[in-house]
Chain A
């Protein structure tokens, strides 16, 4: 083991003997590592944003429904437990945030047009943390309480309906007996959302107004809970499951929105494949460099062996050389990635393809997300694979026959 510092020093010096080659190889590794991390950060950012837009915001991380509701979202499939009882069960349980809401499909009509929407009857105070709508960024005002008699719709929808703040619209849906339930509302606010589709498809009214219109007493159709992070929802899930009886269905967000759930998994897999592909492309150059480095100093290696250096030390020295090369390349690549991602934190505007991104469920601003864990994973993968790739040239170098090696004409 005392040999190690010497071997490291030797390897380092050998590396710089042919500085051109080392610099080219370092550039290749740096570019490769930069691409690995940069691309990962972009994908991560995109998926994170998608989940923020699509899941953690509106529907909540853990949701409770009537078992048939998700497939058949009708008031007939509502949660029959009243709000008062729900509050008793959940208010003191220490959830980060929870809310019950009325969420049913409805038709909205102005004097000119009608459209299909999802009606959300909410208690605005309870949903502030969930909502994809910033309450303050509303033209007019947002709902003021669960008993608010106004309606807040998206800007996009308002322009399609040719309506505006102060005008009246009619909401139509059905009550549990399938009688048409309809009521006029005055538009009090127009909200703005990241995705135009949200602005077109959701309308907000006060929870009590919704319950009265649909004639469902103080019941709701959906209870939602917020966990600390969308990746860590199991504790909340267990807690919720323990508190509701088995006549209700408790689901995780990725079970409700299977598209986003698979997206998350697919992206995780994609990131790893990308790192490996880049490494493989690099590995040819790496092995090439090592083979050349060994070839150039066959005679020296022979000499060292003849002087009594153990083959294992030769092996170690070549591997150290490769690891040093990779380590420096990784450091530069990491730094480069950090330096290019940092100024982009504010978001990359890709609104040129906004509608395409929307089709994928993503918004038109891309916020790259550099996770330490992703960076570490890329680095570890490169080092491990790099170690494996350098085994063969190193092994060969350590197997030289001293005499043959010394006399070899190079």
Chain B
């Protein structure tokens, strides 16, 4: 072994307790960082996936301005042919056309205002999780049937079950009065009260008839398997739009700015906390290394008077720190991964969190996943700050005067 390496290693263990305590601080922070980062990013992924698969999809084609105003007359013309053209062009089923309107739904006993989607019964199941959540009856079948599926809470409040009739009142695309009688064929239950309370779906063609849509709709929803894939798909979609139209393609983060911003806000506060932890570790290292340099002043004086350059001594101190940091890094990353893995198997639930979780489309129990990235990212930052903290004691050596130093102690 290289002599400098050996020297550094031995110096490190002069005060083994001090070294272990400093490493302890690193390991503690690293375990926390690995654990929290694993949970955090796992949750973001789930949040995005679970939210997008309800209605939004990864991308939507809309009329300009529709995203903000959602007005009936901001339409995508000839929407069904457009959707089928895209499906053909991309050889996929995960593209579907929709219309959206607001109406008053009345049963025999109750009336409630609801949001109603006109959907393509064949393709909607490929872009939305709602069709798979039917717990009573069946999903929509024919494109021109006058039928409707409702959220479970809505159905309960309206006092209807499958087979009952609903009257739907609203205003059509041109502002004229729209009305229809629809048969409830299915009831879905997503578990998210807001969705189950406020939404209904009906076949797109009857939707277009009732609301005087004249073949138009409001959104073409495009789903991909992953976020990355969606990004790759985007240029192709834009290119495939009819040349003379002013239609726009929106990504999920423009469609649901709240989702991305909630993640950003959460990341902001998380990074503040991580930063504090890292700074505290850095102080610990600074303390230890400064002490270890100060108590060796006499010794350093001797070797310097023998001709050793202060730069070399500085590198020795940095090497000691790096060794210490490396031990902290390895132990911390491993311990953190093990700690987190326990929750990967058993799941983590915070009492009372179900409500909050549901608000973000998250399950009540989370299973954090350790990836190489979440395992290494936090400890790596700690390691870098460890080295940074040792710079002051190391550079201080340049100011050391051999003769004075030898007189110390």
Tell yes or no: A292 within 8 A of B by CB: yes
Residues B175 and A355 in contact, CB atoms below 8 Å apart: no
List CB contacts (< 8 Å) of B7-24 with chain A. 15, 17-18, 21-22, 24
The interface bits of chain A over 96-138 (1 if a CB of B lies within 8 angstroms of the residue's CB, else 0) are: 0000000001110101111111000000000000000000000
List CB contacts (< 8 Å) of A143-189 with chain B. 159-160, 162, 172-174, 178, 180
Tell yes or no: B277 within 8 A of A by CB: yes
Given known A28-B287, A113-B72, A116-B113, contact A281–B259 (CB-CB < 8 A): no
Tell yes or no: A27 within 8 A of B by CB: yes
CA–CA, A107 to B284, complex, Å? 62
Given known A35-B276, A281-B281, A356-B260, contact A262–B355 (CB-CB < 8 A): yes
Q: What's the minimum C-beta distance from A270 to chain B, rounded to whole angstroms? A: 9
Interface residues of A (CB under 8 A from B): 18, 20-21, 24-25, 27-28, 31-32, 35, 39, 42, 71-74, 76, 105-107, 109, 111-117, 159-160, 162, 172-174, 178, 180, 258-259, 261-263, 265-266, 269, 274, 277-278, 280-282, 284-285, 287-289, 291-292, 295, 350, 352-361
Contacts of A173 in B (CB 8 A): 111
CA–CA, A288 to B284, complex, Å? 8
CA–CA, A282 to B72, complex, Å? 59
Contacts of B277 in A (CB 8 A): 277-278, 281
Classify the interface of chain A: helix, strand, loop or mixed: helix
Given known A116-B102, A116-B198, A178-B109, contact A285–B287 (CB-CB < 8 A): yes
Contacts of B400 in A (CB 8 A): none
CA–CA, A24 to B288, complex, Å? 10
The interface bits of chain B over 210-240 (1 if a CB of A lies within 8 angstroms of the residue's CB, else 0) are: 0000000000000000000000000000000
Residues A180 and B25 in contact, CB atoms below 8 Å apart: no
Contacts of B273 in A (CB 8 A): 35, 39, 274
Residues A355 and B28 in contact, CB atoms below 8 Å apart: no
Contact of B171 among A113, A278, A282, A295 (CB under 8 A): A113
Contacts of A39 in B (CB 8 A): 269, 272-273
Residues B276 and A31 in contact, CB atoms below 8 Å apart: yes
CA–CA, A323 to B257, complex, Å? 49
Contacts of B290 in A (CB 8 A): 20-21, 24
Residues A266 and B356 in contact, CB atoms below 8 Å apart: yes
Ranked 7 nearest A-B pairs via Cβ = A356-B261, A116-B113, A284-B25, A356-B262, A28-B283, A355-B258, A174-B111
Residues A355 and B276 in contact, CB atoms below 8 Å apart: no
Residues B22 and A284 in contact, CB atoms below 8 Å apart: yes
List CB contacts (< 8 Å) of B339-386 with chain A. 350, 352-356, 359-360
Given known A263-B356, A356-B262, A357-B265, contact A107–B103 (CB-CB < 8 A): yes
Residues B258 and A356 in contact, CB atoms below 8 Å apart: yes
List CB contacts (< 8 Å) of B152-169 with chain A. 156-157, 169
Contacts of B283 in A (CB 8 A): 24-25, 27-28, 31, 285
Residues B284 and A284 in contact, CB atoms below 8 Å apart: yes
Q: Chain B contact residues (Cβ within 8 angstroms of A): what range?
A: 35 or more
Residues B262 and A360 in contact, CB atoms below 8 Å apart: yes
CA–CA, A42 to B350, complex, Å? 21
Residues A359 and B103 in contact, CB atoms below 8 Å apart: no
Residues B257 and A355 in contact, CB atoms below 8 Å apart: yes
Contact of A105 among B28, B109, B113, B263 (CB under 8 A): B113
CA–CA, A162 to B280, complex, Å? 55
Residues B110 and A31 in contact, CB atoms below 8 Å apart: no
Tell yes or no: B291 within 8 A of A by CB: yes
Contacts of B25 in A (CB 8 A): 281, 284-285
Contacts of A74 in B (CB 8 A): 110, 112, 157
List 13 additional A-B contacts (Cβ < 8 Å) besides A180-B111, A292-B291, A353-B261: A18-B291, A20-B294, A35-B276, A71-B156, A109-B171, A116-B114, A162-B71, A180-B169, A278-B276, A285-B284, A292-B15, A357-B262, A360-B265
CA–CA, A284 to B26, complex, Å? 9
Q: What's the minimum C-beta distance from A180 to chain B, rounded to whole angstroms? A: 6
Contact of B169 among A35, A172, A266, A288 (CB under 8 A): A172
Contacts of A35 in B (CB 8 A): 272-273, 276
Contact of A287 among B21, B259, B294 (CB under 8 A): B21
Kindly report which residue of chain A lies nearest to residue B174, judged by CB atoms: A112
Tell yes or no: B264 within 8 A of A by CB: yes
Residues A288 and B22 in contact, CB atoms below 8 Å apart: yes
Tell yes or no: B69 within 8 A of A by CB: yes
Q: What's the minimum C-beta distance from B313 to chain A, rounded to whole angstroms? A: 18
CA–CA, A80 to B391, complex, Å? 76
Tell yes or no: B54 within 8 A of A by CB: no
Kindly report which residue of chain A lies nearest to residue B26, judged by CB atoms: A284
Given known A178-B111, A266-B356, A287-B21, contact A355–B103 (CB-CB < 8 A): no
Contacts of A76 in B (CB 8 A): 109-110
Given known A20-B294, A266-B352, contact A288–B18 (CB-CB < 8 A): yes
List CB contacts (< 8 Å) of B167-208 with chain A. 169-171, 175, 198
Residues B291 and A21 in contact, CB atoms below 8 Å apart: yes
Kindly report which residue of chain A lies nearest to residue B279, judged by CB atoms: A31
Tell yes or no: B32 within 8 A of A by CB: yes
CA–CA, A20 to B25, complex, Å? 20
Residues A262 and B353 in contact, CB atoms below 8 Å apart: yes
Residues B287 and A160 in contact, CB atoms below 8 Å apart: no
CA–CA, A291 to B284, complex, Å? 13
Contacts of A111 in B (CB 8 A): 175
**Interface-centre pick from B69, B114, B279, B283 (highest chain A CB count, 10 A):** B283
Contacts of A20 in B (CB 8 A): 290, 294
Contacts of B15 in A (CB 8 A): 292, 295
Kindly report which residue of chain A lies nearest to residue B360, judged by CB atoms: A359
CA–CA, A115 to B277, complex, Å? 48
Contact of A284 among B28, B175, B265 (CB under 8 A): B28
Contact of B24 among A106, A162, A284, A361 (CB under 8 A): A284
